[in-house]
Amino acid sequence: MRYHKIPDETVRRLPVYLRGALHLSRGGVASTSSKQLADLIGVESWQIRKDFSYFGDFGTPGVGYNLSSLISRVNQILRLNTGHKAALVGVGNLGSALLAFPGFRTYGFEITAAFDIDRRKIGRRKAGVLIEDIASLGLLSTRGIHLGIIAVPEAASQDVANALVKAGIKGLLNFSPRYIAVPRGVKVITIDIAMDLARLPYYVSAGRAVEYR
């Protein structure tokens, strides 16, 4: 089933598979099966096989998947093989945590620039990154930065997004609890922490298949 449109849900799961494969690889495992990987990450084995089938040429029937080739293949599909630089805007509580967050490196990301509006923070360093004045946010694409991370208060997030797009950013990870409008060709992924938590009580209290009125 090669040469097909890739389902969005498949793209969403690929990083999960990559995470699991990296975990096994770090543990010294050289090859795996759809069953082993599935059990590790909490999905079903056919889901993994189906997802990989959209790309073709992942495993060997009767044997399984070679981990290092699986990892490099998924990295290639997700365009993670080259490494990516990101600019962070907003060095408050959350922004500072993101600067110190080790997990970005798992997928080859690095925050190489940070911006804030607060005069007391500008010029200082946090986790090795110089905090620059948001007002002097110039072209970022010339600095090799193509991704932006927005960690400013809700009221400022659209302005910050506009500035980042103007600076040449093509992808945004938005932590502010607000929809952000961007031109075509720019992709936004929003993480609203509180909103994800807001789904829990629904699932916790009555269970899912209940009827309403």
Nearest approach, Cβ of residue 135 and a second copy (Å): 25
Does residue 50 interact with a second copy by CB under 8 A?
no
Q: Is 86 left (phi over 0), alpha (psi -120 to 50) or beta?
A: beta
Q: What is the smallest separation between the CB atom of 5 and a second copy, expressed in angstroms?
A: 6
**Which amino acid is located at 157 in the chain?**
S
User: What is the DSSP-derived secondary structure letter of residue 64?
Assistant: B
Q: Which is nearer to DNA, 57 or 159 (CB)?
A: 57
Judged by CB, which is closer to a second copy: 67, or 182?
182
Binding to a second copy, residues 109-128 (CB under 8 A): 109
State how far the Cα of 166 lies from the Cα of 86, in Å rounded to an integer.
15
Do the beta carbons of residue 192 and residue 151 sit within 8 Å?
Answer: no
Q: Considering CB distances under 5 to 8 angstroms, the limit depending on partner class, which of DNA, a second copy, none binds residue 3?
A: a second copy
Q: Which amino acid is at 44?
A: E
Pick the closest to residue 29 from 51, 37, 147, 177 (CA basis).
Answer: 37
* Residue closer to a second copy, measured from CB, 3 or 30: 3
Q: Which is nearer to DNA, 11 or 198 (CB)?
A: 11
Q: Report yes or no: 177 and 154 within 8 Å, Cβ to Cβ.
A: yes
Which among a second copy, DNA, none contacts residue 90 (Cβ within 5 to 8 A by kind)? Answer: none
Binders in 159-198 for a second copy, by CB under 8 A: 170-173, 177-179, 181-182, 184-198
* Integer Cα distance of 180 and 158 in angstroms: 6
187 binds, among DNA, a second copy, none (CB under 5 to 8 A by kind): a second copy
Decide if 11 contacts 64 (C-beta within 8 A): no
Q: Which does 85 bind (CB under 5 to 8 A by kind): a second copy, DNA, none?
A: none
From 71, 43, 131, select the one nearest 95 (Cα to Cα): 131
Give all strands (DSSP E) within 120-186, no chain letters. 125-126, 129-133, 145-150, 171-174
Q: Among 21, 48, 80, 150, which residue sits at the site for a second copy (rule: CB under 8 A)?
A: 80
Residues lying near DNA in the complex (CB under 7 A) are found at: 1-2, 7-10, 32-35, 44-47, 49-50, 52-53, 56-65
Query: Does residue number 64 form part of the binding site for a second copy (CB under 8 A)?
Result: no
